[in-house]
Amino acid sequence: MLFIFYHLTLQNKTILISPLNWGLGHATRIVPIINKLKDKNKIIIASDLLPYQFLKTEFPNLQIIKFPSFEIKYPKNNSFMPIKMLFSSPKIFLGIAKEHFLLKKLIKKHNIDIVISDNRFGLWNKKIYTIFITHQIMIKMTKRLEFMEYFVFLINKYFISKYNELWIPDLQKNNNLSGDLSHKYTAHKHTKFIGILSRFEKFNQKNFANSKKRHDIVAIISGPEPQKTIFFELIYEKLKNTNRKTLIIAGKPGTSFIENNNNIEIVNHLETNEMFTALKNSELIISRAGYSTIMDLHVINKKAILVPTPGQTEQEYLANYLKNNRLFTFIKQDKILNFKF
């Protein structure tokens, strides 16, 4: 088995698993963890918004409860991103405190034994065992604010250290996908590198070795608004008058929508098996540089053009890091219309 899960031999426990709701990435990457644990434990999933819809579809037989989180909107002008996040800090810390308080009620109501939190900082509790999942120990700052990186890391470390364990979805040494984000600093004395996580792990890729190409291009639209819509519109404008057969996945689970316009097919969402087939049988993939997407593409051995969300320093770093390691191509969003696909 290519993907190594450390410490996932739990049995007869009630486990609450909750991903952050900033996009779908945190929800998709906990799929293999849920699959690993659900047969021998009682799993309760706690989420909201798009992750709730996705996980409800992915695991129709599991208990899924709505657990509110806070949303952050990205500015249209990426130069304002540090200011936006600074002014959002009170909302973020209030959200952390609120989910920490709500967790106490969930623990009592459902007799929770263990909590696995994917990037939700408030889901620790001194009375039970809690695990934090992240690939982002180090928060990348803009060039002007690089001097604050270590200070921000210490804040990150403070919250992570509240948990009993830290799980990092990456390889510990060579050929890792996260670079400095996971490997420059140590945030917890009980840190486990649990390998690459992907919902596509369960598929037998040999069956697709000789599959015929279905689309020339598959574009995966994801991330926070308003940049998500901007990305969609740029991709559509770029490809609508070409002869390239294109599939655009708009990234809106829970809704059903299909549109065909000349060479472009648009769908709101694909089930995991449909998504795997579409990506595996495509000639070219265009996507954001979200870490979960990168792990998925790595698992199915597909190259892609990564377009980081403007102002999202994590994605900008990952795209550049992986380009330098010759794993992916990296272009900026404002270069899409001039780029030759």
Could you tell me the residue ranges of all domains in the chain? 14-197, 203-333
pLDDT for 141 equals 87
Nearest to 3 by CA among 303, 295, 294: 295
Checking if the pLDDT of 64 tops 60, the result is yes
Count Cα atoms within 13 angstroms, Cβ side, for 39: 5
Could you tell me the pLDDT band of residue 4, with boundaries at 50, 70 and 90?
Answer: very low
pLDDT for 85 equals 57
Q: The whole model's pTM is what?
A: 0.89
Structure tokens at 38: 């659900």
Lowest mean pLDDT among 1-5, 73-77, 160-164, 244-248: 1-5
Is 3.40.50 the CATH number for 14-197? yes
Architecture field, domain 203-333: 3-Layer(aba) Sandwich (3.40)
Count Cα atoms within 13 angstroms, Cβ side, for 226: 7
**At CA 303, angle to CA 248 and CA 185, rounded to 5?**
105
Pair 47, 67: CB distance under 8 Å: yes
Burial class (CB in 10 A: 0-12, 13-18, 19+), 269: buried
Checking if the pLDDT of 304 tops 80, the result is yes
Pair 110, 16: CB distance under 8 Å: yes
Q: How far apart are the first and last CA of the chain?
A: 35
Nearest to 73 by CA among 226, 222, 221: 226
Topology match between the domains 14-197 and 203-333: yes
Mean pLDDT across the chain: 88
Pair 290, 273: CB distance under 8 Å: no
Pair 149, 101: CB distance under 8 Å: no
Long-range contacts of 264-270 (CB under 8 A, 24+ apart): 264/236, 264/239, 264/240, 265/215, 266/236, 269/54
Inter-axis angle of helices 291-299 and 313-324, nearest 10: 30
- Tens of pLDDT, residues 170-206: 999 888 999 999 999 999 999 999 999 999 988 866 5
